[in-house]
Amino acid sequence: MKSFTYNAAASRIIFGVGAVKSLEAEIKRLGAERALVLSTPEQKSSAEQIASLLGPRSAGIFAQATMHVPIETARAARAVAQELKADCAVAIGGGSTTGLAKAISLESALPIIAIPTTYAGSEVTPIFGLTEGGIKKTGSDPKVIPRVVIYDPALTISMPMNLTLASGMNAIAHAAEGLYAEDSNPVISLIAEEGIRAMSAGLRRVGEAPDDMEVRSNCLYGAWLCGIVLGSVGVALHHKLCHTVGGSFNLPHAETHAVILPHAVGFNAPAVPDAMQRIARALGAPHAAQGLYDLGKSLRLPQSLQAIGMKSEDLDRAAELALQSPYWNPRPFTRGEVRELLGRAYDGLPPDA
Ligand code: NAD
């Protein structure tokens, strides 16, 4: 066994249907009294419900969270937190809302209680992103990790089905790359395999049974595990391609992950047979990359970059960008190989594994 370092985040996790009712007790436990409730404009009514649940412990609502945390929004939220003398932030929503809470905490060290309503996993990672002048910069700081995460599967039922499925594949991508990350370790590999198993099992059933709490619980449990992987070990070619392609050409975040994942995993397959075996076993499929492609197909997720808005004339530039400051990857790659991979993903072909 290779030597390894394992970092465990000190978050407190409350999981279960109806778990959101414990929010006030969790705020008290932190010694806080004035919570600023954060959401997107689309989920403002959820933020209002949270605020009314909290009564006097709610200091106010800031419902302007948006994708990729524009610096202007972060500054506005920081100012509101200060003005209202908030002593904690409650983020109800997906990665965009959690991201805004992290941007506040980065400057003020305000403790965050996250109530995730998608499968993005940001609530258990130290990773933050801020977008200034159209450029998204990411960083990592343990101080932005939410102190408490309340996973309530009932709150995920309202998630639109396309977001449910794409967000689930996004979570699987975190776990798949964690299995072959440069700093992978045996504990995280166990968590990653179980995360892929739980999430893929949940996703296979959620289309027919969107209100089934057992199914939703499986997905959210899987999302938590996959998020732990993202927060603990590095990522590789797949995430690099998603950040490059998604960020530079303004493609939808979770769908971009869903399209690229089988291709990136297929490319890496010869270099990391043990990781491939684990992914395949978790999916209950003979092959990892083809298994991921087939899962996306069976869920009727978009399978091509073309279908999610990429232009063929941008493929060369995307390959070029992917070669700039590349992430570590278990299999070295050339510009030509990345261009070919992106070409297959653009056309929606099965992975070349
Ligand atoms: P999102 O947070 O952008 O949400 C998408 C839309 O769905 C929003 O309008 C939101 O209000 C709505 N929504 C969310 N949950 C809902 C629900 N249950 N019911 C109804 N509507 C709901 O989407 P996301 O995929 O969760 O997050 C994407 C963002 O998170 C990206 O910016 C990505 O870079 C970031 N992210 C960060 C990390 C990290 O570790 N820092 C990890 C994963 C993703």
Last-in-domain residue among 102, 132, 156 = 156
Question: Residues 173, 119: one domain?
Answer: no
- 248 pLDDT band, cuts 50/70/90, is confident
Question: Residues 319, 183: one domain?
Answer: yes
Residue whose tokens read 């002593």: 87
What is the rounded distance in angstroms from the CA atom of residue 65 to the CA atom of residue 67?
Answer: 7
Residue located nearest, by CA, to atom 19 of ligand 1: 159
Please state which of the ranges 13-17, 92-96, 246-250, 302-306 shows the lowest mean pLDDT.
246-250
Please state which of the ranges 22-31, 87-96, 127-136, 170-179 shows the lowest mean pLDDT.
127-136
Q: Mean pLDDT across the stretch 132-160?
A: 93
What is the rounded distance in angstroms from the CA atom of residue 351 to the CA atom of residue 261?
Answer: 9
Ligand 1, residue 166: give the atom nearest the CA.
25
Tell me the longest C-alpha to C-alpha distance in the chain: 60
Dihedral angle over CA of 175, 181, 183, 189, nearest 10:
40
Inside any domain, residue 1: no
CATH number (domain holding residue 242): 1.20.1090.10
Inside any domain, residue 226: yes
Question: Residues 217, 292: one domain?
Answer: yes
pLDDT value at residue 302: 95
Tally of domains in the chain: 2
pLDDT value at residue 130: 93
Question: Residues 65, 191: one domain?
Answer: no
pLDDT value at residue 331: 97
The answer on pLDDT for 324 being more than 90 is no
Reading the block at residue 260, the tokens are 């690229």
Mean of all residue pLDDT scores within the chain: 95
Question: Residues 276, 319: one domain?
Answer: yes
Range of the domain at 232: 161-347
Question: Residues 279, 187: one domain?
Answer: yes
Inside any domain, residue 59: yes
CATH number (domain holding residue 18): 3.40.50.1970
Between the CA of 349 and the centroid of ligand 1 the distance, in Å, is 28
Between the CA of 55 and the centroid of ligand 1 the distance, in Å, is 26
| Each residue's pLDDT tens digit, 27-38 | 999 999 999 999
Pick the closest to residue 50 from 111, 130, 117, 104 (CA basis): 117
Last-in-domain residue among 156, 183, 216 = 156
Inside any domain, residue 68: yes
**CB of 96 closer than 6 A to ligand 1?**
yes
The answer on pLDDT for 223 being more than 80 is yes
- 219 pLDDT band, cuts 50/70/90, is very high
Question: Residues 133, 195: one domain?
Answer: no
What is the rounded distance in angstroms from the CA atom of residue 341 to the CA atom of residue 236?
Answer: 15
Question: Residues 338, 221: one domain?
Answer: yes
Dihedral angle over CA of 269, 273, 278, 281, nearest 10:
80
Between the CA of 199 and the centroid of ligand 1 the distance, in Å, is 17
**CB of 42 closer than 6 A to ligand 1?**
yes
What is the rounded distance in angstroms from the CA atom of residue 279 to the CA atom of residue 62?
Answer: 40
Between the CA of 97 and the centroid of ligand 1 the distance, in Å, is 7
The answer on pLDDT for 333 being more than 90 is yes
Pairing of strands 135-140, 127-132: antiparallel
Last-in-domain residue among 156, 181, 203 = 156
Question: Residues 193, 240: one domain?
Answer: yes
**CB of 253 closer than 6 A to ligand 1?**
yes
Question: Residues 104, 174: one domain?
Answer: no
C-alpha neighbours within 13 Å on the C-beta side of residue 328: 11
pLDDT value at residue 278: 98
Inside any domain, residue 7: no
The answer on pLDDT for 175 being more than 90 is yes
pLDDT value at residue 247: 78
Inside any domain, residue 315: yes
Inside any domain, residue 285: yes
pLDDT value at residue 254: 86
- 8 pLDDT band, cuts 50/70/90, is confident
